[in-house]
Amino acid sequence: MKIVRKFPLRSSAVRYHLVAPATLLALLLLVAMSQSLLTFPILAVNASSSSGNRSSGSLLESLNKAEGVTAPLQSDASATLTGLSDCVGPGGLVQGTLRITSGAVTRRVTASASFSSEQRPSNLVGIPGSCTVTPNVGTCTVTDILVKYEGTLAIGQTVTITYLARVSNAAAPQSQICVRNQVAFDDIPAFGFELCKSLTCSPVGPGVAQPITTEASDQKPGAVLIYNVYTSGATNGNSQNTRINITNTNPTVPAFVHLFFVAESCSVADSYVCLTGNQTASFLTSDLDPGTNGYLVAVAVNETGCPTNHNYLTGDEYVKFSSGHEANLGAIAISQITTNLTICYDNLALVSLNFNGVSYNKVPAVLAMSSVGSKADGNDALLILNRIGGNLGIGAEPLGTLFGILYDDAENALSFNVTGGCQLRSSLSNNFPRTTPRFETYIPAGRTGWLKVSNQTGAIGMTGAVINFNGNATNSAGAFKQGHNLHALTLTTSNFIIPVFPPNC
């Protein structure tokens, strides 16, 4: 037997046929006629890329017709590898299929799709739990490196095995991703064929992309952004307002972004913004949600509204309060790590964003404010805490009761507890938090401290920020204003449930 390669390996479609020389073909047909059964099937295999062509390409059938011989039903297999976005690049999802037909007799089939070999490193990582078989015959499993199928197919039966894999973040631009497919019928040795596809996404720049497993941070792109605070005046946005900025850093792939405005009372309103490659957008919250205080969640979705792995969103905000507090805060970016897209293919109205370190990055559990200035020195530190969790279709979950520890600069500690809704926002003073002795006594003039806060009864997801105002900032060397996001000391799991419906842009 010999393999004839019909097209170059790097082409958009690759087809392989298993061809028997004329003498061997004649011998096999004579044996089959003498036994009234073709016991060794000639396997015709077509491996095509994202074009989706799945014709059997049975050269044996053509030869039989040319020679006037009626051939039995053929066993065959074909494979495809398709990108799930406009281009395929590091961190992107691909969908693989393997289509197998049993042939003239009932056959025991074993098949596999391997993402690595001794000759080349793997640029693909399988997504466990993503394999489906249509119709539901046999079993299929997916690991990081392998897809495996086993089943018994009736006469002429065809199964289609579908699975998901993610392109490694370390994959070089314009490099290839490959899948080595193997199919075996009964005890006949397996036939293997490789399917490759070139990466087509343009890189965002030189260097290595940020690993998607990097935990939530305002220093990376992601598929979910959390803006820690927004506000606007009910009638006048001049003194109290927020400018939200969001950017799609992917050069070619557009972004559909579902925005959820979570009020401090836990009610939620939503909107959409759509961005082309390399596009940025800005808007004032006074135009969209006037007179409301809260935080904003931005989720990358696809054309149907399902969450997607578009880990290219970055953002920040400029916020100002009538009290004088103002800051430029980066949006906390959370990457999508793995996904099972069938959760949305079933036309579900709701879907869960699981911040568990598997589907998405984890979220902070213990937050820290690294420095607290004295009130006596003119500092007015506005502390902002947000609960990350709940159903954004009907209302987010509240913070509940939180436990905190306030330290002075001599390492002395006082504990306190506070209660909040979906957002807690208050200036540090003798009235908040309640400590003994009071805050302004504990952190006197010329001294500093720090604090940390969490849920004591069980870890909940939180983010937060602090904005300091000091009226002496323009005429005192030691007086400053502005703000930053709080530091995450520990992580936990949480989730948002979001409604699913197509973007309106």
Q: What is the CATH number of the domain that holds 311?
A: 2.60.290.11
Residue 24: which H helix or E strand, with range? helix 22-35
pLDDT by residue for the chain (505 residues), tens only, comes to 222 222 222 223 333 333 333 433 443 333 333 333 222 233 333 333 333 333 333 332 432 344 343 444 577 889 999 887 778 887 778 999 999 998 888 989 999 999 876 666 678 888 888 899 999 999 999 998 999 999 999 998 999 999 988 888 778 777 889 999 999 988 788 888 888 888 888 888 888 778 888 999 999 999 999 999 999 998 888 999 999 999 999 988 899 999 999 999 999 999 999 999 999 999 999 999 999 999 999 999 988 898 988 899 999 999 999 999 999 999 999 999 876 555 665 567 899 999 999 899 999 999 999 999 999 999 999 999 999 999 999 999 999 999 999 999 999 999 999 999 999 999 999 999 999 999 999 999 999 999 999 998 888 999 999 999 999 999 999 999 999 999 999 999 999 999 999 998 8
Q: Last residue of a domain, which of 291, 321, 352?
A: 352
CATH number at residue 145: 2.60.40.1510
Handedness of CA 127, 133, 136, 140 (dihedral sign): negative
Has residue 214 been placed in a domain? no
Residue-range definition of the domain harbouring residue 78: 2-198
Helix ranges (H only) for 8-101 are 22-35, 59-66
The CA angle 35-185-1, to the nearest 5 degrees, is 75
DSSP string of 296-316?
Answer: EEEEEE-TTS-B---TTEEEE
Q: Are residues 235 and 152 in the same domain?
A: no
Residue 474: inside a domain: yes
Q: Which two tokens stand for residue 126?
A: 């399988």
CB 293 within 8 A of CB 230: yes
407: CATH: 2.60.290
DSSP state letters, 304-354: TS-B---TTEEEEEEEE-TTS-EEEEEPEEE-B----THHHHT--SEEEEE
Q: Which residue's structure tokens are 């401290």? A: 449
Same domain, yes or no, for 294 and 239?
A: yes
Number of domains in the chain: 3
**∠ CA 421-384-360, rounded to 5°:** 80
Residue 366 corresponds to which tokens in the numbers above?
A: 């213990």
CB atoms within 10 A of CB 283: 15
- The residues with which 224 forms a beta bridge, in sequence order, are 299, 334
Task: Give the DSSP letter of residue 217.
Answer: B
CA pair distance 249, 90, nearest whole angstrom: 14
Alpha-carbon Rg for the chain in angstroms: 30
Query: What residues have CB less than 8 Å from 237, skipping those under 6 apart?
Result: 284, 286, 290
Q: What's the length of the chain? A: 505
